[in-house]
Amino acid sequence: MTDKVDWDAARRQPFAEVQTPDDWPESVRPLSWHGMSLFGVDLTRGLYWDGKKVKTEISLGPAAKLLGGLIALFTFLAAAATVSMAVTDLLRFLNGN
């Protein structure tokens, strides 16, 4: 790589001095070309901004975990009931009922 990055300029003006769209939150601003240099990616494709890891994970809260567990449990019970009804019907058919 032969391109040199002016890190001081990137840190001095990371944001573009332009008008943002009306539907953007007031605190959100677009990056300048210099500011784009502050993004980095590690070998595991983790995202970094100016050397600091950007949080990209989402964790479920206790209520969402409980709800997901209940949905999985009742889905399993419904599948087991369906299989048992199919087995019962097969046995009735084989017995001639």
pLDDT per residue as tens digits for the range 73-82:
999 999 999 9
Q: What per-residue confidence (pLDDT) applies to 36?
A: 83
Domain boundary (53, 71, 88) is at 53
Count structural domains, the chain: 2
Identify the domain containing residue 89 by its residue range. 58-97
Q: Do both 77 and 47 map to the same domain?
A: no
The pLDDT tens digits of the residues spanning 3-30 come to: 787 888 888 888 888 888 888 888 888 8
pTM for this model (two decimals):
0.46
Q: Is 9 exposed, middle or buried (0-12, 13-18, 19+ CB in 10 A)?
A: middle
Residue 2 lies in a domain: no
pLDDT range class, residue 57, cuts 50, 70, 90 = confident
- Percent pLDDT > 90 in the chain is 36
